[in-house]
Structure 1
Amino acid sequence: MKRPSLPTTVLACALAAGCQAVNTTSGGAVGVDRKQYMFSMLSTEQVNQMYAQSYHEAISQAASAGVLVKGTADARRVQTISQRLIAQAPVFRPDAAQWPWEVSLIDSQEMNANCGPGGKIMVYTGLIEQLKLTDDELAAVIGHEIAHALREHSREALSKAYGVELATQLGAALGVGQGGLQMANLGVEYLMTLPNSRGNENEADLIGLELSARAGYDPNAALTLWEKMARAANGAPPEFMSTHPSSSTRMSNLRETIPKVMPLYRQATSR
Structure 2
Amino acid sequence: MHIRIRQALVKGLLMVLTGLALSSCETVQTTQAGVVGVDRKQMMAVSSEQIDQASRQTYAKLVAQERGKGTLDRDPAQVNRVRAIANRLIAQSGAFRPEARNWQWEVNVITAPEVNAWCMPGGKIAVYTGLIEKIQPTDDELAAVIGHEIAHALREHARERASEQAMAGTGISILAAVAGLGDIGQKGMEYAYMGLLGLPNSRRHETEADRIGVELAARAGYDPRAAITLWQKMGQAGGGAPIKFLSTHPSREDRVADLTVYAQRVMPLYEQSRRR
TM range (shorter): over 0.9
Contact 2:121/2:156 (8 A) holds in 1: yes
Give 1:23 shift: 1.6
**Corresponding position: 1:261 with 2:273:** no
Asked if the contact 2:55–2:121 (Cα under 8 Å) also holds between the matched residues in 1, the reply is yes
Confirm whether residue 149 of structure 1 aligns to residue 153 of structure 2: yes
Aligned-residue offset at 1:14:
5.3
Of 2-11 and 42-51, the range deviating more from structure 2 = 2-11
Q: One-letter code of the match for 1:250?
A: R
Provide the C-alpha distance between the structure 2 equivalents of 1:107 and 1:70, rounded to a whole number of angstroms.
7
2:94 aligned counterpart, secondary structure: helix
Tell me whether 1:23 sits opposite 2:59 in the alignment: no
In structure 2, what is the equivalent of residue 199 of structure 1?
204
Provide closer, same or farther for how the CA distance between residues 163 and 132 of structure 1 changes in structure 2, counting only shifts above 3 A. Answer: same
Contact 2:173 2:186 in 1 (8 A): no
In structure 2, what is the Cα distance between the partners aligned to 1:11 and 1:190?
20
Give the structure with the larger helix fraction. 2
Q: Is the 8 A contact 1:10 1:171 kept in 2?
A: no
| Identity percentage of aligned residues | 49
Q: What's the RMSD between the two structures over aligned residues?
A: 1.8
**Per-residue deviation, 1:170:** 2.0
Paired residues of 1:197 and 1:243 also in contact (CA < 8 A): yes
Assess if the C-alpha contact under 8 Å between 2:14 and 2:175 holds in 1.
no
For normalisation by structure 2, the TM-score amounts to 0.92
Work out which of the two has the higher radius of gyration on C-alpha atoms and give 1 or 2: 2
Residue correspondences, number: 268
Q: CA deviation at 1:11?
A: 5.5
What amino acid maps onto 1:107 in structure 2?
Answer: T
Is contact 2:28-2:44 (8 Å) kept?
yes
Give me the whole-angstrom Cα distance separating, in 1, the residues matched to 2:260 and 2:44: 31
Offset at residue 46 of structure 1 (A): 1.5
In the alignment, structure 1 residue 98 sits paired with structure 2 residue 91: no
Determine the structure 1 residue equivalent to 2:163: 159
**TM-aligned CA deviation for residue 175 of structure 1:** 4.2
TM-score normalised over the length of structure 1: 0.94
Gaps of at least 5 residues in structure 2 are 1-6
Q: What is the CA–CA distance in structure 2 between the aligned matches of 1:10 and 1:129, rounded to whole Å?
A: 52
- Cα offsets for 1:110-142 (capped at 9, x unmatched): 100000000000000110110111100000000
Cα deviation for residue 186 of structure 1 reads 1.7
Q: Equivalent residue of 1:68, what SS?
A: coil
Quick one: distance in 2 between partners of 1:238 and 1:211? 30
Q: Indicate the residue corresponding to 1:234 in structure 2.
A: 239
